[in-house]
């Protein structure tokens, strides 16, 4: 029964941010579970690499080079799917600046990608699913920052908190159509997005590992399995929820 619940054969998934990190790991795992996967990202080379990984494992992948803040292009890509069962809105960026130094352009960029991009993906997915009478699953990507905040995280935390409210609100609106909407709020995950700061990065990871009862930071596959769970029939009675795969970390700010 467990294997059947996670079998996505015959279903189609759309994954934003699929060129690397959590997005790539999720796209590959969804394909391994039987889904046809549409991969979207502004990094065309990364998209090609993700699609190659999927195809080398016998899966089916389609690529859509796009920026999630381009509503029209995103709508075109989603509409091109003959059917759509799963939307995983994972694309996002990191940003850090003290509150007193936060500029308008910082807010616009982070909210544009981390919130508006998710909103657009959710809107287009919901419209597609309602129009085709598909009882689908929409998955958004929040963050542990929704619970803890932290120095320099105003823009990032605010955008991710907005994603949570989007998730809960949309779940109430599309539930009558049989569509589920849930969010994943990861803890610290080792990805290309976070792995850019040399020794400072190593110190951060060591610190985060010490805060976890499991004694480690997360890997993209840890989050991909959470995405798979929410995409599958194993979570058929789950909607409007925030799943927190964070290693048990509670930040001591």
CB 24 within 8 A of CB 57: no
Cα(144)–Cα(30) distance, integer angstroms:
23
Cα(179)–Cα(85) distance, integer angstroms:
9
Q: Is 156 labeled as catalytic in the residue annotation?
A: yes
CB 146 within 8 A of CB 190: no
Pairing of strands 137-141, 86-89: parallel
List 14, 120, 156, 188, catalytic entry: 156
CA–chain centroid gap for 152, Å, is: 22
Name the token pair of 16.
């934003």
- Would you put residue 240 in left (φ > 0), alpha (ψ -120 to 50) or beta? left
Positions marked active-site:
156
């Amino acid at each position: 029964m467990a294997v059947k619940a996670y079998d996505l054969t015959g279903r189609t998934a759309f994954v934003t941010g699929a060129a690397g990190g959590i997005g790539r790991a999720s796209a590959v795992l969804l394909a391994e579970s039987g889904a046809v996967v549409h991969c979207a990202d502004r990094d065309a080379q990364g998209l090609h690499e993700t699609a190659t990984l999927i195809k080398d494992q016998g899966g089916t992948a389609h690529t859509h080079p796009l920026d999630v803040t381009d509503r029209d292009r995103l709508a075109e890509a989603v509409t091109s799917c003959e059917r759509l069962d799963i939307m995983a809105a994972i694309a996002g960026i990191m940003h850090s600046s003290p509150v007193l130094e936060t500029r308008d352009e910082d807010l616009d960029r982070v909210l544009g990608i981390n919130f508006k991009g998710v909103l657009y993906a959710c809107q287009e997915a919901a419209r597609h699913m309602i129009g085709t009478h598909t009882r689908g699953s929409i998955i958004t990507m929040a963050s542990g920052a929704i619970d803890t905040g932290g120095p320099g995280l105003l823009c990032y935390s605010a955008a991710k908190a907005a994603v949570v409210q989007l998730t809960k609100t949309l779940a109430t609106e599309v539930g009558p159509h049989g569509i589920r909407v849930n969010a994943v709020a990861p803890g610290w995950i080792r990805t290309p997005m976070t792995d850019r700061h040399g020794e400072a990065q190593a110190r951060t990871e060591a610190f985060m590992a010490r805060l976890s009862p499991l004694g480690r930071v997360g890997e993209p596959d840890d989050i991909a399995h959470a995405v798979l769970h929410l995409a599958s029939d194993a979570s058929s009675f789950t909607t409007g929820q925030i799943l927190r795969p964070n290693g048990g970390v509670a930040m001591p700010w």
